[in-house]
Structure 1
Amino acid sequence: MSGPTTTDALLAKLSGSAKKTHRKSISLLFLGLRKESSAFILSLLREAGLAPLGRVIHDEESLLATLSQRSWDLLLHSTDVPTPLTLHTAQSSILGLAKDLPVIHIDEGLTEDQQSELLSENIHLVCSPEKHHLFLLQIEQELKQLETRRMLRQSQSLLEKAEVRMQSFIDEVKTAICFCKEGRIIYANESFSRLFGYDHSNCSGLQLDKLISPLQREQFWHSLHEYMHDIDSPDTLELNAVRFDNTSFKAVISMEPGIFHDRECFLLSFRQDTKHTQSHAFGDQDPISGLKNQAAFMTQLEHTVKKALHGGHDCNLLYLSLDQHKVIAEEAGPAGADQLIRDVADVLREHINIAHTVARLDSSSFGIIFFDPDVKKSSLLANTLCRAIAHIDRKIENYTLHTTCSIGIAPINDSVPRGSDLIARARLAAESLHYGNRTGNGFSVYQPEKQTTITTADSKAVIRVLDSIQNNRFRLLFQPIVPLHIEEKAANYEILLRLLSDAGDEISPNIFMSDLGDDEVMAKMDFWVLEECLKLLRLEFNAGRRNRLFINLTGRTLRNKEILPWLSEKIRELRLPADHLVFQISESDAIASPDYARAFCKGLKQLHCKTCLKHFGCTSESDNLLRELGSQYIKLDGSYINDLNSQLISIDQLEWMLKPLLQQDKLIIVPMVESTRLMSKLFRLGVHLVQGYYLQPPRAQMDYPFFDE
């Protein structure tokens, strides 16, 4: 039987993606969708672990105005609602502004010709949001492709800056450097002109032939041609160079591709032959093991990666870490540790052919570039090395040297990163052999983590977990909502639900509830949370603490007709002041179920409870919802804080948005506050309450010092 079987293992599996502290913000434009449809999509994305913000557009004027406000990620189009702005006009407007904004049509039974026409105009297609999982996967792919293009543009910008810095470096460096194209120098630095005795202003346009001894010019051009067409050819050569006065000297010439003023060319560097001197006494050799040292290994690894990127040169990197090296170094001393390194090096030389590269990387690890593409062969080698090293048995005085090793294997192919990242991959695979109760003495092949924007869950597994815990594995946490611009007599706390694993780890509802469709189980959970909150509030009042609780409601709760009568009875039974209960309703949930939301808020008002419209500003219906629901509190959507921190929006834009709310005497809450700098900005804006890790992370007790002097 494969896969996790225990409750704790199931929870651990589900919480694998819960370690991220921030949701990824995405900004969406909706064209031709009903309000309920756009709200449903926003709810779907929020349940999938994102922080979506949406705007509905109707005409070209609103599109152009909206595009100028911020950077948007996707435009979703449907034919649910007729609009003056057509899909093709919207695409033309976006292209006219040279915006990289993917335009996506929600495909509702288009013909093959219609699909072909849209795809030819670079309009992508996704299925209906009703097909939750497939829709989320398609949206994830679009977001990944957009992020890749943005990273490419950023890389191009960084490359341009690097080229400017490189030019400055070349101007000042002591090495003689020139850029060449079609056999002529297009730029040379001062060091070059000094080395060859030319006036610096006369170097541009100089033929390369004049720099090389006539007897060796053919060799020079042959080497340059080989380097251009064969990645295995040497990138340095030794020739007799000729100065301006026809005197000569032995030179070492290094060749590499270059770019000068956006022109592809060759960069040549000349230095006088100093072969008789060495900067390092041992050259590229490690003095203890006699193997190559780390610098030589990294040079070889980068060359191997460069070859692999062209295809057809796949091989494998092995990272070997000694499991007991630290203990041996402490107990047997430096002499014992060095002897162990020599013995391990002997094992490596014995079992690895000289055609492969072996090196000592640091005090307790070795690197092997195994020039064979077959991972199975690398695994066999790793297994052989593990067994051989485990049999090392050498006595030094009264101490017996014995160790095992952990070997991580990382494939090298045409999709690999740079050498240092490859080392990190192989090291991670080796370290995985120490997870849990494992102690190493084995090998592991690197497996890339599945990078995903969307969080999904195994609903059946979750249901089994929820059925097994029988309501005793939940924990309520409390995060303070701190007054910034108002006088408060009550201490405000938001209630946050967590599920506990066997090990005591807390798992967010975003993980264990994201794809759960069992209404009966979820209804039981809603009642459990509400009942626990009411009991806690009663206990706080009995202890003389006047706390106010902010309790989250979901769209499912709004549609449950049994909640309000039950709540009314509990408030009477526990004799609670109802105005100390604030129920938080998501903007997208309210739009998706407008009738239920209005009725629920009306019922809460009759009970004298308060409401808070959270995720405010994530849709185009924010103001309408505020009027219909009559909420006393407004909690700004977290995407605005992310954008403010990332400078995607300015403090003036946020002030413009908040001004109407302040005029309506709504109490504004800003979440995700994590710095003093942000606090000062919010204070100037007149925000009433703030919440975030800067003030206090969620805790098991309501113990924030609200009223301390």
Structure 2
Amino acid sequence: MIQNDIIRLIVIEESANDAEVILNSLRKARYPIRPTHVEDDEDLATALNEHEWDLIIAVPVVGELTAEQVCEMVQQAKLDIPVIVLMSKMDNKMMALLYQAGVRNVLPNNNDVALQSVVGLELENLAERRRRKHLEQLYRESQRHNIMLLQSSRDAIAYVHDGMHIHANPSYLEMFGYKTMDDLEGMPVMDLVSLEDQPKFKDFMREYMMEDKEEEQEISLEGVKSNNKRFKLKMEVSKAIYDSERCIQIVIRDQSQNQELERQLREVSRRDLLTNLFNRQYFIAILEKALAKVMESNVRSILLYVVLDILENNRENLGVSADPLLRNVAAILGKLGEHATVARFGDNVFTLLLLDKDIPYATQLAETICKKVEATVTELGTQSVITTCSIGIAPVMASSGSVHDVLADAHTACRKVLQRGGNGHEVYKAVVKTSEQGGTGSRDIAKMIETAIEENRFSLRYQPVVSLHGGTLPIYEVFLRMTDSEGQFVPAGQLFAAAEEANLTIHLDKWVLKESFKVLMKEQQENKHTTFLVKLTDQALKDENVLLFIRRLLKSTQLPGERLVFEISEAVAISQVKLAKAFITTVNTMGCKTALEHFGTELNSSSTLKHIPVDYVKIDSSFSRGLSANPDNQKAVQEITKLAHDSGKQTIAEAVEDVNSLTVLWQCGVDFAQGNYIQSPLEEPSYHFEDEE
């Protein structure tokens, strides 16, 4: 929360003197507070009904009022007010109950530093939730406005998905002679075109989809009404989103109206009356198209969220209309944004959408905007006004999910600039949050994945796989690592789970393959016959492009295929036998080998090897941990090793953590081993395999 904002605070304490101690702590940190002291549930109920509050600080019990009851009253009132509890003696059981009840933080009493820090964090989080809620309201308002315009439009408008109608407005229904949408829903749009024009319409739509055109395309056709009466029409098609689903919008203009007048009216409906920039509703529609484009073709755009600092903080002190100032800034943005869609998004907010541009271009443009705005003097009444601006920058990515998410990201970045005093720009970057902050959402991680290559946040780690029975050829398993914008590693489990949810796993596979080939090329130039074990994601089995990518890399680098062993999990292989066998057969023709990882975890692993022709079997880590003290696991390892050897396959034990387990593996006849006891993953493939003889 910005330091100048008044913080409305409820303090629940035994006495006013005790409450004053808490307030003094916050005043020392220069929090501008407007507090009230509450001692019972009646006082709290009255306070919650009379005012809006930002924060509640309470002790566990005051009289008969408990902190759990405080949370319950806040929840029943459907209010978003963080509750912080101060305890004289920290008790784990009590803390657990408080967190379950909805308390945000539990702190030791008389710890001013902790209180001041947590208050700041909770206020920031509250401000962000409120901003997000505001943006959601704006979005819903725009959606309602668009629906009203659709329903009242004299143009016949319909939305089509996979060739079928999913919605049509009253004008469209009337034009083709249908009473309700129930009569039209699910009907192919082709049925509304005469038989003679259907081939022409098919060719038109095929060309439109194949060329991935964003602008509206027009075609003249002969239409067919429900009574089989024919008529001439001119149809416009464009890509759109209806009910969160990507589809095609069809618009048939009413030819009886003056077309030029209709065009002018459409243009006016898109514009802000004061600045003549695009308005919020039209900008959201353009942003939706940009989001659909990145989902379909991976072409990213950039959103700039521009706030005028003087109107954000001191609008009431101007004493005059700020319209001339807004027009001046609009003129600056309109000239600078020649490759952008520029809109007045709110009272003192402008937005720019840069199509098919990158972050460096956006930051350079933002810097130019800041300089131009600061250099502009506006006469407001009898005073000259100079303002600066704060700009949040956010990429429009496939993992954004919705228009609202993109706007929220840009808004968050803009608030960071405002907190620094304004007059600057900030790029939104998702970071890995600590457990105290609630953890990082999969959508944030997916956003990191999409920007990781250009921001150089991907890297590989190499864990040696050593022979237990002689042999010094260098073999490593390759692991992918990713850091956030602050250099913190994203846990691998979260990384791949988020990638799968956002359909980005192939993105990771291709980067790992490309970098692995680079390193193997370097190893070969140094006369090292290094082999890499590369784990591919489950989606790779289903995507033929991955096999083509591998083939191209082998051809361009001239590396022998035997330098690569591709790992697939037993669970995926046994559930997708045909795909797994086809994948293995194809990479074998390239000279590459394969391994079955997590082996031994399925119900009938013995039958797996009969169907899946891999070269290596990787014994699941659950068998290796504490192996020397677990007779059942020892027996299982022996059986897996014999089964693999009988099938002509070599075995690899992973996750070896102690010397005793290593000895047991050797006695069981396991061929290779890897684990942190031998060597934790390295930044470079630099392990001395000769030392293992």
TM-score, structure 2 as length reference = 0.39
Larger Rg, first or second structure (1 or 2): 1
* TM-score of the pair, normalised by structure 1: 0.38
